[in-house]
Chains A and B, each alone.
Chain A
Amino acid sequence: MRATLYSTVFTVLVVVKATLFAAPPAVTKGRTFDGHPDLSGIWQTMSTANWDLQDHQAAPGPFFQLGAVGAIPSGQGVVEGGEIPYKPEAMKQKQENFKNRWKDDPEVKCYMGGIPRSNYMPYPFQILQTPRTILMDYEYASSNRVINMEKKPLEASVDTWMGTANGHWEGDTLVVDNVGFNDESWFDRAGDFHSDQLHVVERFTLADADHMNYEATIEDPQVFTRPWKISLTLYRHVEKNAQLTEFKCVPFAEELLYGDVRKKTK
């Protein structure tokens, strides 16, 4: 007991001395001061997962006036095994969502993207990593989330769009456990959806300096028969002057949301 106390005091003194008088600690390239992989930077997917998590072929958009500009690109799916294991009633809901996607998709209304969708929308997001918290700041709709990295987990005391996130490191992989979601966000523009029982476990692993593997295991017993997984690559923005710009989309959605109660001019 006493020995422990002495050694603690000694260690603290040594650390204090070292911190006050020594040069900053050496840091390995690609790692932070606490030794973890440095995920900080601006990231974006090149996949078309935001159009549809599953395989999809090219299709016309909703407005012929936009021609090719408004068309939907084809793309390979990101769901492991290809299928999303909907319960039968939930599958009907998904199909209903798909039919009404141009007015019911939360993205059309400029609502927050939720998790995991925010990570593969066609906008960059920036990671700022500290030992106690990791910030993920999304360009789309100025949404953001802070992942708690402290040992004591943050409790999800209210349901939110972006959820409550607790993270930890498994080797060189950042694992983020997300709960506390509302039932309003979608997974893509094809109507894939979830309930407020959603539980998402994400895994961020650097493949090399500029590529990151992203996986999300999705669990929601109200909607799916079993957990399922998506997996895609995030690419780093390497331009010297790269920075997140601003996409506040509310003004682009107001006519759609409130046009029915605008005063009609004769």
Chain B
Amino acid sequence: MKAQLFLASSLAVGGLAFAQNTNTPKTAWGDPDLQGVYTTDDLNGVPLARPAQYGTRRYLTEQEFAERAKNVNSEKSTIDTGIRPTTGFWALVKDAGVDGAAAPAQWIEYAKHASRLTSLVVDPPDGRIPALTPEGEKRRAAQPNYYNMRPASWEDLSSYDRCITRGVTGSFFPSIYGNGSEILQMPGMVAIRYEMIHETRLIPLDGRPHASAGLRSYMGDPRGHFEGNTLVVETTNFIGGKVDVGGVPYSEDLKLVERFTRVAPDTIDYQVTITDPKTFTAPWTVAFPIRQEPGYRIFEYACHEGNHAMHNRLSAARAEERHEAAKAAQPDQK
């Protein structure tokens, strides 16, 4: 009964608020209510940096949108019939000479509704990631390569391959799977939980200062506050040089400022500004909506526990070396 009343009242308040377009729903203690399970699945296929053809346009034209919607639908029906698609990510993998066939079709999440965005980057206005600093260029060139067929050790592979983490942005930006996130709130605290490698960020709202520079982590040290109906989260204290954003390992000076605003009962507008003067010559901003998809459930992604790929890749590389050494030792058989 109590539960029913609570539900009835929150529904009524939520509906009323959106109908009047004055306010977002509030928690019992008065914070804007952002809670729920969300997914970025609909952004599958939207490039991070904007292809030059779109110029400074943030949205597709009707004709371009119809084309993307067609691709989204064909990908959806391909996957639904249990066949791995040959477009998007899967085309990239094939072009690189790698057979990504290990992943069965049911692993893959796909867009339910085609997005109108031309890119995820919205600032600078051309949607391109700003030029790198010389140090950033050096770090990009030196980073582990996913397509390295002869890794000497796990250290030649990325933090993602090693199931350590994808960092804050990598955990949240749309990917081929694991696109779920969940926001929970209590007085003085917001938690954001990511499906991708089971990350959770606990974000204090009590105005406490950041941890000192000596305490660094892969997911950083977040502090949050509300500006009107928007949750603003500032994250610092990152471990530098290990995890990438926009294809470049960021430095320990990375600062993220994220903004979460509920714009409809099932939608939050997300925005993140990436500042890292040791890596990028200017700050840049990514923005996209996240949506509650009926029936979407976050499952445990036991990435490291099931990382057979790591041992297999390394043992395959060693086997090839042994094979080559054996061949070299018998020159007369050529």
Contacts and interface: CB of A to CB of B under 8 A. Distances in A.
Contact of B300 (A11, A129, A162): A162
A258 B153 contact: yes
A2 interface: no
A20 B318 contact: no
Contacts of A250: 162-164, 304
B182 A146 contact: yes
B314 A258 contact: yes
Contacts of B298: 146
Contacts of A128: 184, 186, 189, 191, 202
B193 interface: yes
Interface stretch (B6-14, B57-65, B265-273): B6-14
B149 interface: no
A162 B169 CA distance: 25
B35 A130 contact: yes
B29 A24 contact: yes
A16 interface: yes
B305 A184 contact: yes
Interface in A8-57: 8, 11-12, 15-16, 19-20, 24-25, 27, 32-34, 40
A160 B302 contact: yes
A258 B154 contact: yes
A243 B204 contact: yes
A32 B164 CA distance: 35
Interface stretch (A61-69, A82-90, A136-144): A136-144
B98 interface: no
Given A24-B30, A135-B191, A263-B153, A126 B202 contact: yes
A135 B193 contact: yes
A110 B165 CA distance: 14
Contacts of A34: 2, 6, 28
Pick from B13, B153, B165, B305 the residue with the most CB of A within 10 Å.
Answer: B305
A244 B198 CA distance: 16
Given A244-B202, A258-B310, A146 B193 contact: yes
Given A40-B186, A128-B184, A146-B193, A262 B152 contact: yes
16 contacts: A11-B8, A16-B12, A106-B305, A111-B304, A112-B302, A142-B197, A142-B199, A146-B182, A158-B299, A160-B302, A184-B305, A241-B211, A246-B217, A248-B217, A258-B154, A262-B152
